[in-house]
Amino acid sequence: MSVTKNLVNWANERKCRTAVAALEKNGFTAFYLQSAAEAADYILAEAEDAQTVGFGGSMSVADLQLGPRLLEKGKELLNHGAPGLSFEERLEIMRRQLNCDLFLSGSNALTLSGCLVNIDAIGNRVGSMFFGPKKVIVVVGRNKLVDGSTQDAINRVKNWASPPNARRLNYKTPCAETGFCSDCGSPERICRVTVVLERKPRYTDVRVLVVNEEMGL
């Protein structure tokens, strides 16, 4: 690894560990991990006692390619993004995710003060993050860290994450064409439900894995 990469990695580690400490202060169970591979290993270990595993549609989680390994362990996967599903089947899976044994998600942003900030179109992902599942694991890459307020984090989501996500999902929104948020009134607008987890939800076991790699959008 070059000197530059070593220094960048060191600087990002400091920020990741700062976020972990803040999350712990806010009541979350949080871990610093050096790589996505470590995050995958942690999730697989935590899934041992789970029968149903829900996927919130996160690219950070999808890139871990956990599906085949979980199926080998006999787990039932609740993935509303699986190909070939009808609209009604997708909605039913989303509802079942609200009561699964283990729910896996990313986070659109994480402030260095330990707040998880997420924006949904439907609300199924954010709903499952704070109540219902027996255990929730949130995977956050270093690119999601925001050194600022929750409003700064919301701005990060709308300006950096939402446009490429809208394009990935083939939605007809202005940002999917321009790459910039225009606070649109499009029927296919994906920024509809904004949730800030300032503290760990009282009755939900939420684990946050802060990874010193760029993950997701």
- Position 1 scores a pLDDT of 75
Q: What's the average model confidence in pLDDT over 81-88?
A: 96
pLDDT score, position 128 = 98
**pLDDT exceeds 80 at position 135:** yes
Average pLDDT over residues 106-111: 98
pLDDT in tens, 1-12: 799 999 999 999
Q: What is the mean pLDDT of residues 117-141?
A: 97
Return the HEC string of the chain. CCHHHHHHHHHHHHHHHHHHHHHHHCCCEEEEECCHHHHHHHHHHHCCCCCEEEECCCHHHHCCCCHHHHHHCCCEEEECCCCCCCHHHHHHHHHHHCCCCEEEEECCEEECCCCEEEEECCCHHHHHHHCCCCEEEEEEEHHHEECCCHHHHHHHHHHHHHHHHHHHCCCCCHHHHHCCCCCCCCCCCCCCEEEEECCCCCCCEEEEEEECCCCCC
The predicted-structure confidence for 163-208, as pLDDT tens digits, reads as follows: 999 999 999 999 999 999 999 999 999 999 999 999 999 999 999 9
Q: What domains are defined for the chain? A: 3-211 (3.40.50.10420)
